[in-house]
């Protein structure tokens, strides 16, 4: 009985921290989509954070993952998901699944997420976390996501969770007409860009400066 009470207290604390994060880190900084705010309030970030970082799960920063990777700052997750403008029926590709947290958030907003991760150990951890929560509309794949993932293409949206030296043509080709590619482009620092595929080409809009780990793979940085 004591254990149950303790678990309930921990859950209550996490819920309060999550609600505080949504208000202070997201809403106050201009994240305005009710659906995105609800998803960020719902998904327990602590499930995706390494055990050594559990007490920092809702800090306003990126946190380290194994293999030199990171779980993105909550604000950047919310910003990317909001810019992706997801709809209930969308099928979304995430390049750089990492911990699985961003895929989990997107899964609350769309029909299916395909998460591709080049590091098998991270993909396995993400799958465990997603399965723990019963988020069964995320398909986890190990592979080089920098060139997309053709079996489920074309996509309504593609979200890249690593800094790309250029916009990979392969990702544009795997978007539906009207589809959105959200991608940080640059070397040491990046600009978060949204590229919309049109019937005649693409339209690019640049947003925030940001810092992500380098995109690995054929269309990424080869020294990453």
* pLDDT tens, position by position, 113-133: 999 999 999 999 999 999 999
* pLDDT tens, position by position, 176-220: 999 999 999 999 899 999 999 999 999 999 999 999 999 999 999
Specify the fold of 2-210.
Answer: Rossmann fold (3.40.50)
| Cα 112 to Cα 92: distance, rounded to the nearest angstrom | 6
For residues 73 and 49, the answer to whether their CB atoms sit within 8 Å is: no
pLDDT of residue 6 exceeding 80, the answer is: no
| Cα 98 to Cα 114: distance, rounded to the nearest angstrom | 13
> Count H helices, E strands: the chain?
6, 9
| Cα 29 to Cα 104: distance, rounded to the nearest angstrom | 22
Known catalytic residue at 99: no
| Cα 144 to Cα 148: distance, rounded to the nearest angstrom | 7
* pTM for this entry: 0.93
pLDDT of residue 3 exceeding 60, the answer is: no
- Name the catalytic one among 32, 51, 72, 146: 72
């Amino acid at each position: 009985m004591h254990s149950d009470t303790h678990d309930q207290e921990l859950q209550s604390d996490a819920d309060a921290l999550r609600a505080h994060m949504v208000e202070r880190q997201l809403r106050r900084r201009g994240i305005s989509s009710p659906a995105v705010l609800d998803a960020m309030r719902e998904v327990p970030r602590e499930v995706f954070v390494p055990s050594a970082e559990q007490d920092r799960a809702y800090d306003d920063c990126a946190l380290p993952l194994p293999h030199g990777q990171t779980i993105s700052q909550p604000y950047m997750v919310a910003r990317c998901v909001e810019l992706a403008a997801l709809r209930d029926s969308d099928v979304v590709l995430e390049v750089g699944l990492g911990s699985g947290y961003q895929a989990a958030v997107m899964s609350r907003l769309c029909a299916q997420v395909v998460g591709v991760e080049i590091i098998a150990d991270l993909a396995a951890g993400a799958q465990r976390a997603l399965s723990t929560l019963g988020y069964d509309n995320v398909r986890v794949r190990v592979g080089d996501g920098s060139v997309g993932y053709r079996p489920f293409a074309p996509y309504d949206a593609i979200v890249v969770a690593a800094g790309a030296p250029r916009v990979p043509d392969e990702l544009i080709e795997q978007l539906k007409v009207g589809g959105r590619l959200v991608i940080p482009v640059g070397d040491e620092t990046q600009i978060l860009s949204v590229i919309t595929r049109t019937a005649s080409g693409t339209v690019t809009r640049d947003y925030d400066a940001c810092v992500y780990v380098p995109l690995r793979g054929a269309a990424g940085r080869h020294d990453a």
